[in-house]
Amino acid sequence: MTDKNKKKLLFYCFLLALSLLGFFFSQYYSIITKSLGNINFFYPKFVVLIGFLLWILVLWSQFQDFSQDNNKPKPYLYEIIPVLCLFAALIVLWMEVFYLEIAILYFLFGMIIVTPITILLFKLLVNCCPLAKKFIERTDTFFLKGSKFFFALFVLFLSIIALEIGFRAISKTMPARGESDYGNRPDFVLSPYLMFAEPNEKEGGSLNSQGFQGEELQKKKNGEKRIAILGGSAVWAGKNKNSIASFLQKFLRENYSDKEIRVINYGRQSYISMQELILLQRNVLPLDFDLIIIYDGYNDIHIPCFAEPKGVGYPFLYSKLKQRVELSQQLFNTHYFLKYLASKSSICRYIYQISTASPPKLIASQEFDIEVCAKEYQRNLFQMAKLAQAYQSEIILSVQPFVGYKDHKTEKESSFLSGGLLEDMVSYYKVIDQTARQVAQETKAHYIETLNVFSSEKSDIFIDPVHIERDTGNSIVAKYLAQEIIQKKFLD
C-alpha cells in the first residue's frame, strides 16, 4: 500500500471516530456502557450501531482496494460528503427550526449513516455498472474532470432516497398525522383561537368535529353522566386505550352500574392553561358535562422556561408562527419551502424525535419569574371555574404529578432532575399547587391533590420529569380520582 493510500485510509478512520464520539456525547449516553435493550430501528443507539457496521464494511473495502494498488477507480468521497453534511446542518440552523444541538445531529447523522451508504453504493455502481465506471474514468478534458464529483452527488442523492424509503417502510412509531403547517411540529396544524391542535379527521388526523377522539356525543340521555378532563400531553397520552380518561371511565362504570358514564379525553399536547380555557369555552361547555377535571400545571412552567422565548402567557410555538407570518411577506419564501420538505421526511422526523430525548435548555433571552407565571395561571383557572359553574358543571382543579415529588425515586427517575434548572421545578411546583388550592377556595370549586399520588411508589413510574407509564401510572392516577369522585358524590 502506498503512503498516499495509507493517509487516505487513516482519514476515513478519523472521520468515523470523530462522528461516533460526537454522536455519543450529543445523546448523553454511550452504546459501550449501556445495553441495546429492546431492538428498535429508531432507537438512536441502534442507528449508531448500524452506522458503525457500515463504516467497518467501508474501511475493509477500501483496505482491499488500497492493498491491491491497481487502477480501479477509487471513490474518494470523504472530500465531498463531510462538506455536504455540514452544509445541511447550516441550512437547518439558518432555518431556525431547531437549536444548535439539533443542527449538529443532522451533521452527525449524515456522517454516520449517509456517508458510508453513499460510499458503498458508489463502489457498487462503479464495479458493477460499466457505464458508470466509464463515466468517471474519462478525465481527459476540463469538463469531464468534474465527472467524479457530479457522479458522487448523484449517488448521494440515491442514498438519501434509499434511506427515506427505508425509514418510511420501517417507521411504525411515527405515523403521518395530517398536514404540517405549524412551526416545527409534524403533528400540529393551525387551529382557530387555540393556536395549534392535532389534525381533525378531515385533515387526516383523529379528532372528531367536537374536538376529541372517539364517537361523538349525541343528545344527553337519562342516567348519562359526562366527564371531561382537560390538560396537556399527560392527559392526552394513551388516547382512548390507556389514558387517564379511559381508566377513569372504567373505574367509575364499575361503581355506577346504574349510570352511563362517559369520560372524554380533551388533553392536547403542549397546551397551557390559557389554551385549556379557550378549549373549555368553545368545545367542552356546550356539550353539557356534569363534571370537568383540570389536570395541568407543568406546561405553564415548562413552556415559558424552555420552549417559548416570549415567556409567560404565550403558547408553545408562538414565536415560530410570528416568524412564519413575517416570512410569508417575502417573494421567495425558502424557509417555508424547506420546512415543508422537512415535515414530509421520515428522516427529519426521526432526528426531531431523538432530539427530544436530550435534557431541555433554558432559553437564554428569557428570565423566568414564577410569581408572574402563578398570576397568569390563577387568572386562567379562576375563569375556568366560573365558566363551569355558570353552565351548572362541577369542576375539579388538580396539579399533575412531577418526578421531584416522588419519595422513592429509581436511578432512572433521579437522573431526570440532574439538569439543574429541573431541580428548580420542585419549588416552582409548590407555588403552582398553592395557586390551584387558592383558586378552588375562592371560587368554591373542588381541589384534588394528585401531586403526591406516587410518593409511596418504589418502581419506575416516570418516563421523563412529568410523563408517566401509561398502563401503571395512568391507572394509579385514574383510580385515585375515581375514589375522590365517588367519596364526594360528584355524580350522585
pLDDT at 306: 81
Does the reported pTM lie above 0.75? no
pLDDT tens profile 25-71: 544 443 333 333 333 334 455 565 666 666 666 666 655 555 555 54
The number of angstroms, rounded, from the C-alpha of 144 to the middle of its chain's C-alpha atoms is: 46
pLDDT at 213: 79
pLDDT at 226: 96
Q: In 171-221, where does DSSP find H-type helix? A: none
pLDDT tens profile 78-106: 555 666 666 666 665 555 444 555 566 66
pLDDT at 141: 44
* Whole-angstrom distance, CA of residue 183 vs CA of residue 185: 6
Query: Could you give all domains of the chain from N- to C-terminal order, each with its CATH number?
Result: 3-170 (no CATH), 220-316+359-487 (3.40.50.1110)
- Write b or e for each residue in 374-401: b if 16 or more Cβ atoms lie within 10 A of its Cβ, otherwise e: bebbbbbbbbbbebbeebebbbbbbbbb
Element (H, E) at 47: helix 44-68
pLDDT at 320: 76
Residues of the chain with pLDDT under 50: 26-43, 71-75, 96-98, 139-145, 173-184, 358-359, 362, 364-365
pLDDT at 308: 85
